[in-house]
Amino acid sequence: MLFESICRSSCLCWSLGDAFDVRLRRHITFAKRVDKPFSLIYSDKYKVPNSVCESTPSKLSTYRILEPGMILLEKYVSIKDQIDIIYECEKWAKSGFFNHCDHQNGAKCKVMNMCFGRNWDPNTGYKERYRSDGSEPPPIPYELVSLVKAAVQDAQAILKDLPSMHPDICSVNYYPANGFLHLHQDRDESSDSLRRGLPVVSISIGECATFLYGDTRINKKLKRIFLYSGDVLIFGGKSRLIYHRVKQISQYTSPVQLVTEFGLRNDRLSLTFRQF
């Protein structure tokens, strides 16, 4: 009896230890790599703008309707506003808020990410309220909220069925020259947000990105567009759950003013806004 009790105790200890080890490995797989502060711009070109997004487009830029509920507003964000946005992100990059989010399968991600409004990462979604350092993400600057709402309203003048949205999450991705994103859907938001088709709004700054999208996971059947600096891509309604990916970044395609006057590196920023 004593031997059986010892065996059962040993098995229990092994099981608990094994379970803990599995949880630990899972935690390590999901963890963000801790990265050092870095700069989005060359230091000798650094200039401080007066404010964030002081201006908005005086008239609607050219646009392309891509799908029902999906539209591309071309060159929508002015150079002035792009510089203001870069400066806002630069403050947090130099404070160490950007991290690499590695994939569940252990693959290393070249893209760096930070969030305004809510904490989010591609592996755990919105489950963790706090960042890995214990801090909460900073609030979305109200100027950015106003810019996004203006873009949605302009898009609604063209797409009558596009729902309104109030962004409470902004995911900022920093793409180096060799950066890309795998095919995915933006579906971590609440069931109510997804059911209503509240749109995703993405602002591109810097180098041009090759963007693939469609209603299938088959790469050969995906459609392709190019996202240039200042473009705003909106997809909601029937297109809210499209599959999409960033295939590659094209170097030396940034607006001259961002590189020569402000010193932006030859990389890309994207700011993606959603309502949880």
CATH number at residue 202: 2.60.120.590
Please compute the mean of the pLDDT values over residues 110-129 and round it to a whole number. 85
Residues 137 and 260 in one domain: yes
Q: Which residue has the higher pLDDT, 93 or 71?
A: 71
Is 184 annotated to bind ligand?
A: yes
Q: Which of 99-108, 142-151, 229-238, 242-251 has the lowest mean pLDDT?
A: 99-108
Q: Which of 43-47, 171-175, 223-227, 262-266 has the lowest mean pLDDT?
A: 43-47
Is 103 annotated to bind ligand?
A: no
Residues 110 and 232 in one domain: yes
Which neighbouring-strand residues pair with 184?
244
Highest mean pLDDT among 33-42, 84-93, 130-139: 84-93
Strands across the sheet containing 181-184? 181-184, 243-250, 208-214, 223-227
Percent over 70 (pLDDT), the chain: 76
Residues 12 and 135 in one domain: no
Residues 1 and 102 in one domain: no
| pLDDT per residue as tens digits for the range 43-88 | 555 555 554 554 455 456 699 999 999 999 999 999 999 999 999 9
Q: Which domain holds residue 264?
A: 35-274
How many structural domains compose the chain?
Answer: 2
Is 166 annotated to bind ligand?
A: no
The pLDDT of residue 17:
36
Residues 231 and 254 in one domain: yes
Q: Which pLDDT band holds residue 103 (cuts at 50, 70, 90)?
A: low
